[in-house]
Chains A and B, each alone.
Chain A
Amino acid sequence: MNTKKIFILLLIISLPHLLFADIKFETGLNKQDIFLDELIEYSIKAEGDNPPDFQINAIPDFSIINQRRSMSGGSHFQMIINNKVVQSTTSSQSKTLHITLRPEKAGELQIGPFTIAFNNKNYIIEPLKVNVRNERKYKNIPEKLDKLSDNAVFLIATLSENKCYVNQPVYVDFSLFYRTRVRLSGAPQLPQFTGFQAEKIFEIEDEQNIKGKQFKVLTLRQLLYPLRKGTLEIPSAVLNLEVNYDPFWGRGNPVSLKSDPLKLEVIEPENNFIGLVSDDLKIKHKLSTKKIMEFEAFILTVELTGRFNLKSAVKLDLKLPDSIELYNSSDSVVINSDHSGLYGSRYFNYILIPRKEGEYTISTIPLKYFSARQKKFNYLNQEIKISVEKSDKTSSSTQPIMILSGGSPTVIFDKTDITYIIEKMNGASQFNIKKLKKYNLVNIIPLIAFFISLIISIFIRKLRGDTVYAKRFKASRKAQKKLKQARAFETAGKNKEAYSELYNVITQFIADKFNVGGYGLSSADINTIFSEKNVEVELTEELIAMLKKFDFKRFSPIILDKNETLEDIEKTLNILSKLERLKLK
C-alpha cells in the first residue's frame, strides 16, 4: 500500500454488525482523459449486507469539490419454471460515494489506492489512472472571468461541448460567482431545453481565485442529451438574489442575474441515424437454466450495459433456429447517472420454447452504434449456444403461462393443459343487470305469498277471536247447507220437513247475522231488530210474511203442492241474498 499517496481515508460505522458478510468495493471514473480545467467524478461503491458509510477527506493532486452519496436497497427476484426455482437473484444493499475532483496539475495522475478498515478487516481499493492534458478546455472562460471579476456577483453559463452528436451527453453549467454575502430569493429559473432530453441537475460548490479575489462558486450542472441535429439554443437562466444580505435584518439588495444564451451544434453520425451513441457498450447474456429440455420454456436474458442514453428506444432482436419458438419478450432498464451522462443496463428477456432436441445457436441481430471518441460505427452482437435435451413430453403445443403475483414475476408451466383454448363448450352464459332485472321478478312470488299468508292469518285469528264475526262469516255457508237439505226433503216428497228446514234457515241466518238467539225468534222480535238496524220496511214485511207462511205450512195437515215448495225455496234464497247484502252496523 502506498501510504505516501494517501492522506486519509476512513470509515465510520453507524451500527454494530453481528452478521458480517464480505463487502465488495468497486471504483469508477466518468472520464479517463480530461483537460486541466475540467472536473471529473470519481465513485466508490460498497456492496454487501449493510455496507459501511465512508468518506474521503483528500486525494493527492486533486481538489475535492463536492461529495454526494447514493444508496440502493436490496431486492429479490425469483423465476420459477415447472414449480422449480430456476433463477433467483438477490441484489444486496449498496452505498456509493461520488466525489467531484479538479486536477491540480497535468500528466498521468493516480487516484488511490485506499485502505478501508471495516469489521477488523482491511479492504484495499485499487487505484485508477486519469490522463490530464496540459491545455484548457474552456479557453475563453478565463478572459471572461477576468472581465467580470470586478463585480461582487455574476452569473455565467458554459457548455461542456460546442459541437456534439445526436444522443451524445453534454452538460451546461450555470455558475454563480460571489464574493459577498448573498441569498437566493426563490428557485433558480432554468430555461426550457427545447430539442434536448433534460436529465439530472447536479449542484457543485467550489471556490476560485480570480485576479487575487476569492470567489465562492455555486454551479448548477444540467445534464442534456440533444435529440435532433442542427444548431440548438440554450436560453438564459435567471437567478434572483439578495446581495449584501444581512441575516440580522433578513434582507439585502435585490438583484436579478441572467446568463448569456448558448448555442450547440448538433450533428448526426450519418443521415437519419437514430441508434445509440456510446464509447462504452458491452453485451452479455444469461440463461434461466443450465439444462434445457424439449418443450420446456426457458428464459434468455441479454444485457446491454455501458454508458449511453438508456431512455432511448433500443430494439434487440434474436435470430432463432426454426425449432426454437419465441413465446414472449420484455425489457427492463436500470439507470444511473453522473456528470458524464446516464449509465447502467438494459435487460432484454426472451421466453423461448425449444420444440426439438439438438444443438442450436441463437444470435442477436447486430446492434449498430456510434462511438463519438473513435468517430466510427461499431457493431455488437452475441452468439449463444444451447443444447436441448429430449423430453418425455409428447405434446408440441405446450404453452408456458406467466403469473405475476406480489410484484415478483414467476413463470410456471401449466402441466395439465396442453392447449390454451378450452375445448369443451361448457359453463353458463353471461349474466348481467338486464337479465337480473328479468329474473328478479321471480322474487316477487315469495313476497306475494307472504302477504297473502299474512292476510289469511289475520282473518283466521279474527274468526277465532271474534264470535260475532265468525257467526256472520259462517251464516251464509250454514244457510246454504240447510237450503240444500230443504231441496233434498222436497225431492224426497217430504214437503213439511222442507218447510220446517226453510223456516230454520231464515231464523238461524237472522240469528247469526244479527247476533241474537235463534230459538223462539218471533215476528215481533224480527221487526224490532230490523227497525233498529234500519232495514227496509218492505224487506221486513216480506220476511215476516214468509216466516208466517213457512210456519203455517210445516204444521199444515193438507197435502202441499210440490211446485209451490220449489218456488218457496227460490224465494228463501232471494231473501237470504238480500239479507246478505245488508250493511250492518
Chain B
Amino acid sequence: MKPIIIKLILILIFVFNFNAYCADKSDIKYFNIANENYNKADYLTALENYYKINNKTYSVYFNIGNCYAKLNNKGKALYFYKIAKSIKPNNDRINTNINIIRASRQDKFEIKKNAVSALTENIIDSYSLRFIFILTSVIFWCLSLTACLILFFKNKILNILIVFLGCLFIVILPFFVFKIVETDKGILIENNVKLFSEPLENSTEIAELNEATEVKISGYTDKWAEVTVADTHKGWLQKKSMLIIKK
C-alpha cells in the first residue's frame, strides 16, 4: 500500500507544480543583487539581474515592472505588472501599480460596460489560470473517484456526493473555459503608434495611440496584429510596437 501512496504524492507534486514554489539558489542570489541595485537606483543593472533569474515568480515580474516604471517605460512596466497579476490576481501592490500606470498614460479611454460584462470581467480577473485549473482538476478527480466507487457500491452518501460534485463541476467549468478562451492582450511600448484600418501602412489611419495603451488581439499576420481598442475601435497595429501577453 505504501508505494501506491508515494506514487500518488508524486503525481500530486507533478500536477500542482510544487517545484514552481521552490526557488533555485542562484535565482535567489540574482534576486537579492537586483534588489540591492534597485535600492541604489541603478535600475538598468537591477533589470539585468532580474532577467538572469530562470524561474521567475510573480515577485520577479513585479520588480521588473517597477524598474521599468522608474525608467519611465510605462508600456513595459504595465506588461510585467500584468504578467505578475496573471500569477497573483488579487495582490494589492500589483493592482495599485497597474492603476498608477493606467492613470499616468496619455490615452485615457472611457469604456462603458454594462453591469453583467463588468461583473464577469471582474470575476475572471480575480483568479489565476493556475488556481482555476487546480480547482477544476481536484473536483474532476473527486467526481471520477466517486463515480468509480458508485459502480461497485450502492450507497446514499455516494449518490449525494456525486450530485454535489457534478453541480460544482458544472459551475466551475465555465470559469475555466472563460480563462482559456480569453484573447491575447497587447500593451503598446511606443508613442504615436498608428492604428490602421488594414494591415498595410498606406491604409486609412483610424487613431494614434500612445505608450501603455492596452489592446485586445483577435488575430495575427506576420508583422501585424488585429486589435480592438477600448472595446470599440478595431484596427491593425504593427507587432513591433507592442508587447503581447499570450494567454
Does any Cβ of B come within 8 Å of A433's Cβ?
Answer: yes
* Minimum Cβ distance to chain A for residue B123 (Å): 18
Main secondary structure of the interface of A (DSSP, over half): mixed
Measured CA separation A409–B60 after assembly (Å): 29
Partner of B27, one of A425, A430, A443: A425
- Which residues of A sit under 8 angstroms from B128, Cβ to Cβ? 431
A427 and B57 in contact (CB under 8 A), knowing A401-B96, A442-B11? yes
- Which residues of B sit under 8 angstroms from A19, Cβ to Cβ? none
Q: Are B100 and A402 in contact (CB under 8 A)?
A: yes
Does any Cβ of A come within 8 Å of B104's Cβ?
Answer: yes
Measured CA separation A242–B102 after assembly (Å): 53
A402 and B99 in contact (CB under 8 A), knowing A426-B57, A433-B246, A453-B148? yes
* Minimum Cβ distance to chain B for residue A111 (Å): 40
- Which residues of A sit under 8 angstroms from B88, Cβ to Cβ? 427-428
Partner of B63, one of A330, A417, A422, A445: A422
- Which residues of A sit under 8 angstroms from B137, Cβ to Cβ? 442-443
Partner of A428, one of B87, B97, B145, B152: B87
* Minimum Cβ distance to chain B for residue A323 (Å): 17
Q: Are A450 and B148 in contact (CB under 8 A)?
A: yes
Q: Are B39 and A419 in contact (CB under 8 A)?
A: yes
Partner of B180, one of A414, A422, A431, A436: A436
Interface string of B61-76 (1 = CB under 8 A from A): 1110010000000000
Q: Are A431 and B87 in contact (CB under 8 A)?
A: yes
Q: Are B17 and A428 in contact (CB under 8 A)?
A: yes
Q: Are A454 and B20 in contact (CB under 8 A)?
A: no
Partner of A423, one of B35, B152, B247: B35
Measured CA separation A450–B60 after assembly (Å): 41
Within 8 A of B (CB), among A137-165: none
Within 8 A of B (CB), among A414-447: 414, 417, 419-433, 435-436, 439-440, 442-443, 445-447
Does any Cβ of B come within 8 Å of A403's Cβ?
Answer: yes
Does any Cβ of A come within 8 Å of B193's Cβ?
Answer: no
Measured CA separation A427–B56 after assembly (Å): 9
- Which residues of A sit under 8 angstroms from B104, Cβ to Cβ? 328, 330
Q: Are B145 and A429 in contact (CB under 8 A)?
A: no
* Minimum Cβ distance to chain A for residue B217 (Å): 14
- Which residues of B sit under 8 angstroms from A443, Cβ to Cβ? 137, 140-141
Measured CA separation A243–B84 after assembly (Å): 70
A453 and B151 in contact (CB under 8 A), knowing A430-B56, A436-B180, A446-B145? yes
A431 and B129 in contact (CB under 8 A), knowing A421-B62, A422-B93, A450-B144? yes
Measured CA separation A419–B93 after assembly (Å): 11
Q: Are B246 and A446 in contact (CB under 8 A)?
A: no
Does any Cβ of A come within 8 Å of B86's Cβ?
Answer: yes
Does any Cβ of B come within 8 Å of A449's Cβ?
Answer: yes
- Which residues of B sit under 8 angstroms from A456, Cβ to Cβ? 151
* Minimum Cβ distance to chain A for residue B145 (Å): 7
Q: Are B151 and A442 in contact (CB under 8 A)?
A: no
Name the residue of chain A whose CB is nearest to the CB of B128: A431
Does any Cβ of B come within 8 Å of A18's Cβ?
Answer: no
Does any Cβ of A come within 8 Å of B161's Cβ?
Answer: no
Partner of A430, one of B14, B62, B86, B102: B86
- Which residues of B sit under 8 angstroms from A401, Cβ to Cβ? 96-97, 100
Interface size class of A (residues with CB under 8 A): 35 or more
Partner of B55, one of A404, A417, A429, A431: A429
Q: Are A432 and B133 in contact (CB under 8 A)?
A: no
Name the residue of chain B whose CB is nearest to the CB of A435: B17
* Minimum Cβ distance to chain B for residue A44 (Å): 33
- Which residues of B sit under 8 angstroms from A422, Cβ to Cβ? 59, 62-63, 93
Does any Cβ of A come within 8 Å of B23's Cβ?
Answer: yes
* Minimum Cβ distance to chain A for residue B225 (Å): 18
Measured CA separation A426–B14 after assembly (Å): 19
* Minimum Cβ distance to chain B for residue A49 (Å): 28
Q: Are B17 and A431 in contact (CB under 8 A)?
A: yes
* Minimum Cβ distance to chain A for residue B99 (Å): 5
A454 and B62 in contact (CB under 8 A), knowing A402-B99, A427-B57, A431-B130? no
Q: Are A404 and B130 in contact (CB under 8 A)?
A: no
Does any Cβ of A come within 8 Å of B38's Cβ?
Answer: yes
Does any Cβ of A come within 8 Å of B21's Cβ?
Answer: yes
Does any Cβ of A come within 8 Å of B172's Cβ?
Answer: no
Does any Cβ of A come within 8 Å of B58's Cβ?
Answer: yes
* Minimum Cβ distance to chain A for residue B15 (Å): 5
Q: Are A428 and B21 in contact (CB under 8 A)?
A: yes
Measured CA separation A409–B66 after assembly (Å): 21
Within 8 A of B (CB), among A437-485: 439-440, 442-443, 445-447, 449-450, 453-454, 456-457, 460
* Minimum Cβ distance to chain A for residue B92 (Å): 8
Interface string of B173-197 (1 = CB under 8 A from A): 0000000100000000000000000
Q: Are B39 and A446 in contact (CB under 8 A)?
A: no
Measured CA separation A111–B232 after assembly (Å): 50
- Which residues of B sit under 8 angstroms from A436, Cβ to Cβ? 129, 133, 180
Name the residue of chain A whose CB is nearest to the CB of B16: A439
Partner of B140, one of A431, A433, A439, A446: A446
Measured CA separation A424–B83 after assembly (Å): 18
* Minimum Cβ distance to chain A for residue B63 (Å): 5
Q: Are B130 and A428 in contact (CB under 8 A)?
A: yes
- Which residues of B sit under 8 angstroms from A433, Cβ to Cβ? 129, 180, 246-247
A445 and B38 in contact (CB under 8 A), knowing A428-B21, A431-B128, A436-B180? no
Partner of A457, one of B20, B21, B28, B151: B151
The residue among A428, A435, A456 with the most chain B CB atoms within 10 A of its own CB is A428
Measured CA separation A443–B141 after assembly (Å): 7
Q: Are B148 and A439 in contact (CB under 8 A)?
A: no
* Minimum Cβ distance to chain A for residue B149 (Å): 8
A426 and B59 in contact (CB under 8 A), knowing A401-B100, A420-B66, A442-B15? yes
- Which residues of B sit under 8 angstroms from A423, Cβ to Cβ? 35
- Which residues of A sit under 8 angstroms from B56, Cβ to Cβ? 429-430
- Which residues of B sit under 8 angstroms from A447, Cβ to Cβ? 144
Name the residue of chain A whose CB is nearest to the CB of B152: A457
* Minimum Cβ distance to chain B for residue A397 (Å): 8
Measured CA separation A453–B145 after assembly (Å): 10
- Which residues of B sit under 8 angstroms from A457, Cβ to Cβ? 151-152
A450 and B147 in contact (CB under 8 A), knowing A402-B103, A428-B130, A429-B20? yes
Apart from A443-B137, A446-B145, what 6 extra A-B contacts exist at CB < 8 Å?
Answer: A401-B100, A425-B23, A428-B20, A430-B56, A442-B15, A454-B151
Q: Can you list 30 A-B pairs with a CB-CB distance of less than 8 A?
A: A402-B96, A402-B103, A404-B99, A425-B31, A427-B57, A427-B87, A427-B88, A428-B20, A428-B58, A429-B56, A429-B87, A431-B86, A431-B87, A431-B129, A431-B133, A432-B129, A432-B246, A432-B247, A433-B129, A435-B17, A439-B17, A440-B133, A442-B137, A443-B137, A443-B141, A446-B140, A446-B145, A449-B144, A449-B148, A450-B147
* A-B pairs with lowest CB-CB distance, top 6: A446-B144, A457-B151, A422-B59, A431-B130, A453-B148, A427-B58
